[in-house]
Amino acid sequence: MLPFLDLKSITLQHREELLAAFEEVLDSGWYILGKKVAAFEAAFAEYVGTPYCVGVGNGLEAIRLILEAYGFPPGSEVIVPANTYIATVLAISQCGLKPVLVEPDISTYNIDPQLIERHITPRTKAILVVHLYGKCCEMQPIRALADAYGLKVIEDCAQAQGAVYHGKKTGNLSDAGAFSFYPAKNLGALGDAGAITCHDETLYQRLRALRNYGSHEKYKNLYKGYNSRLDELQAAFLLVKLKYLDEENEARRRIAQYYLSHIKAPNLVLPTASKDPLSDVWHVFVVRTANRELFQQQLKAQGIQTVIHYPIPMHHQPAYQEWATKSFPITEKIHREVISLPISPVMTEADAALVVRGIEN
Ligand SMILES: *Cc1c(COP(=O)(O)O)cnc(C)c1O
């Protein structure tokens, strides 16, 4: 059986170092906002290339805290891709703001920069982009639009840790970057974890307070904040795993390249590789086919596990009844046809060859 993602093997590559990290925290007697969180924040800021990083509880809260920290008036609009994981949109709703969905480009699956401008209104405050499936968005035209209209640009980097656009990493391509370190992400913790990267010191100070009850100073509360701290243990594990992120992304690129050059199925649409190979970190390898169920069954019969990212578009989710009558044809087509092949840093070329043969059979 070839699993979609062998999380256990990925993690156990670093077993000794992770155990040592656990022991260090255990023996330190300090379990919340200690040395490991500070060290991870410094290491991750340096990795991303921003002056600041704030560790938070998870990816959803990373986005929510950024929006909260900007203090947009209630009902302000945030432009967001219609094709994303639900967390991106939930974060906007939870802040009392209005998500404005924009269709993706069918060749990148990311927000179509050409379609953004027509959705800008006097209430628009920010463009929240998502580097979906591990591919960097086309940031230059988005930044230009945001500057022309005085909007913030925020990145959801949950699926693209370490991806590079024009020489800069995700999280350093906008006003603020939100990261999830959910275990299955390219940089994954051993539980829930997240972070925010930014350039602005005032924003940084607000975020630090907001994640910790709105407090800079113990028992003095400047804002109505949250409890969304990066856990000390998770920070210790992330410090170990961060060292291997570039190497592991490179291993994913090798598998993706193998698929791209070996899969020859006329009824399968392969992903488009970016011009700069560093712009793709292949969080998932998504193909499209008109007959997804059959394709999935065929691979399963040969012991190959696949996953669908994602089966139901946001505007058809029961949670968003208000969008039930809306139509986003490109997003709907994507949700109808996509299916993700196994890809991971511990997969071998022989594993990838098995998938290729499974598709041909
Ligand atoms: C995983 C993910 C999130 C949410 O991260 P959590 O840590 O699970 O809260 C947000 N956006 C995208 C695109 C994701 O893939």
Q: Tell me, what's the pLDDT at 4?
A: 96
- pLDDT reported for residue 102: 98
Distance 310 CA to ligand 1 centre (A): 13
Nearest ligand 1 atom to alpha carbon 63: 10
Strand (E) positions, 181-298?
194-198, 215-217, 220-221, 285-288
> Which atom of ligand 1 is nearest the CA belonging to 58?
7
In angstroms, what is the span from residue 85 Cα to ligand 1's centroid?
7
Among 5, 56, 58, 60, name the best residue to mutate to test ligand 1's pocket (greatest count of ligand atoms within 8 A of Cβ). Answer: 60
- Three-state DSSP at 155 gives strand
pLDDT at 29: 97
Q: Which of 307, 294, 233, 285 is nearest to 267 (CA)?
A: 294
The atom of ligand 1 lying closest to the CA of 84 is: 13
Q: At residue 275, what is the residue type?
A: K
- Identify the residue whose C-alpha is closest to ligand 1 atom 6: 59
Pick the atom of ligand 1 nearest to 60's CA.
Answer: 9
Q: 354 to each of 176, 299, 360, how far by Cα in Å?
A: 41, 10, 10
pLDDT tens for the chain, 361 residues long, are 899 999 999 999 999 999 999 999 999 999 999 999 999 999 999 999 999 999 999 999 999 999 999 999 999 999 999 999 999 999 999 999 999 999 999 999 999 999 999 999 999 999 999 999 999 999 999 999 999 999 999 999 999 999 999 999 999 999 999 999 999 999 999 999 999 999 999 999 999 999 999 999 989 999 999 999 999 999 999 999 999 999 999 999 999 999 999 999 999 999 999 999 999 999 999 999 999 999 999 999 999 999 999 999 999 999 999 999 999 999 999 999 999 999 999 999 999 999 999 999 8
CB of 179 closer than 8 Å to CB of 195 = yes
Nearest CA to ligand 1 atom 14: 158
Distance 66 CA to ligand 1 centre (A): 14
Q: Which atom of ligand 1 is nearest to the CA of 159?
A: 15
Q: Which residues of 176-200 are buried (b: 16+ CB within 10 A; e: fewer)?
A: bbbbbbbbbbbbbbbebbbbbbbee
| Residue 333 Cα to ligand 1 middle (Å) | 22
* Res 361: pLDDT: 82
Q: Whose CA is nearest to atom 2 of ligand 1?
A: 158
Centre of ligand 1 to C-alpha 36, Å, is 23
Residues flanking ligand 1, CB < 6 Å: 58-60, 84-85, 87-88, 130, 156, 158-159, 180, 182, 192, 194
Nearest CA owner, ligand 1 atom 4: 59
Ligand 1 centroid to residue 64 C-alpha, Å: 12
Rounded CA gap, 297 and 303, in Å? 10
